Structures are given as structure tokens and as C-alpha cells.
């Protein structure tokens, strides 16, 4: 399904002369084992000939803040689709206690209408590419800053935060280590 969407967007963009595609791969080494942790191909389609992207958003706890990895989005007249799964690099891991509350800061000019969060167990995600989160987390608050209770058993996770506002919608990904 994703491949069909990417090809459709690429074909439409090529017809309008307004599309672009990028591919990135990040490889990390863990002892003697080398693992690819992130691979993304994005095709964008713009109606006005310029790229519009959702704002940078962050997740923080205990004085440490990490930037979200932007996933698929539709923003203004621009749509972009990313390959699944998106896993932020280990260097951008946010470590939190299981009973803590993280703070998601949306970087837009106004507060989003909707903020939804879900957590994917990292090992399961890497093995199966699961399409549904293992846990749904409730985002509390009504402004540009929302609290998200960790409420997860110890382990490593990818936190997916979906935001919807008047400009469109976007998905951000964060790597978590719950202790």
C-alpha cells in the first residue's frame, strides 16, 4: 500500500515538475554487530512549487530534550510519506522512569487540535515492523505543550506522536528507554 502511494505521489510530482525525493540511511555499530536503524524515502508533492514542512517538535524529561524525527505528513498543500518503521538513532534516546511524565512541545505557532501518542516495543518493531502500537498513551493538556505519562514497563520503545492542526497533520518519532 505504501509503495503504491509513494509511486502515485512520485508520478504526480513528476508530471507537475514539483516533486522531490530523498533517501537516507543511518548505520550504527554495537560491538561487532552493525545494524541499520533508520531508513526513509520521502516523496513530496507541492502545488505552489515550494516545500512546506511541519514545525520541529521535541520531547523532554529531567532537563534532557530530544528533537522528533518527522514521519509522514500533509501540511498546507504538501504531502510526504515515509517508509515504515522510522527508528530514531540511539544517540537521540530519551531515558525516563516508568512512572514519569514526559513533555511534548509542539513547535507550531498555535496549539494543535489533536495530539495522540503510541509506543512500539523497539525489539518487536525491528523484528516484525508492527503497524500498531503496543501501548496507547494519553497526551494531557490543551496548549502547545502536552504531558505524556510514560506508563510503560522497562525496555526500549519508539514513541509515535500524531499531531493535527489547521495547517494539516504530522507524525513525530522519538526513541525512549524506560527504566
pTM: 0.74
Say which residues have a Cβ less than 8 Å from residue 83's Cβ, sequence separation at least 6.
2, 39, 40, 41
Q: What is the pLDDT of residues 28-82, one digit of tens each?
A: 444 444 443 444 444 444 444 445 899 999 999 999 999 999 999 999 999 999 9
Q: Give me 154's grid cell.
A: 522497562
Q: Domains (ranges, CATH) in the chain?
A: 2-178 (2.60.40.1220)
Dmax over Cα atoms in the chain, in whole Å? 51
Summarised one tens digit per residue, pLDDT across range 111-164 is 999 999 999 999 999 999 999 999 999 999 999 999 999 999 999 999 999 999
C-alpha cell at 41: 524515502
Dist CA 13 CA 11 (whole Å): 5
pLDDT for residue 58: 98
43: three-class secondary structure by DSSP: strand
CA pair distance 110, 116, nearest whole angstrom? 17
Query: Given the C-alpha cell 527508528, which residue does it identify?
Result: 87
Cis peptide before 166 (omega within 30 of 0): no
Amino acid at each position: 500500500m505504501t509503495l503504491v502511494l509513494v509511486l502515485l505521489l512520485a508520478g504526480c510530482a513528476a508530471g507537475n515538475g514539483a516533486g522531490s525525493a530523498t533517501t537516507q540511511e543511518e548505520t550504527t555499530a554495537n560491538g561487532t554487530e552493525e545494524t541499520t536503524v533508520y531508513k526513509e524515502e520521502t516523496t513530496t508533492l507541492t502545488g505552489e512549487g515550494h516545500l512546506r514542512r511541519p514545525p520541529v517538535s521535541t520531547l523532554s524529561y529531567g532537563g534532557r530534550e530530544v528533537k522528533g524525527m518527522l514521519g509522514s505528513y500533509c501540511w498546507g498543500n504538501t504531502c510526504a510519506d515515509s517508509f515504515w518503521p522510522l527508528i530514531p538513532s540511539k544517540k537521540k534516546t530519551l531515558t525516563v522512569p516508568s512512572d514519569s511524565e514526559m513533555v511534548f512541545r509542539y513547535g507550531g505557532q498555535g496549539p494543535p487540535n489533536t495530539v495522540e501518542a503510541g509506543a512500539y516495543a523497539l525489539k518487536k518493531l525491528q523484528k516484525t515492523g508492527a503497524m500498531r502500537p503496543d501501548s496507547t498513551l494519553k497526551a494531557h493538556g490543551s496548549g502547545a505543550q502536552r504531558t505524556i505519562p510514560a506508563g510503560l514497563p522497562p525496555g526500549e520503545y519508539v514513541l509515535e506522536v500524531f499531531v493535527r492542526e489547521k495547517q494539516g497533520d504530522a507524525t513525530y518519532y522519538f526513541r525512549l528507554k524506560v527504566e
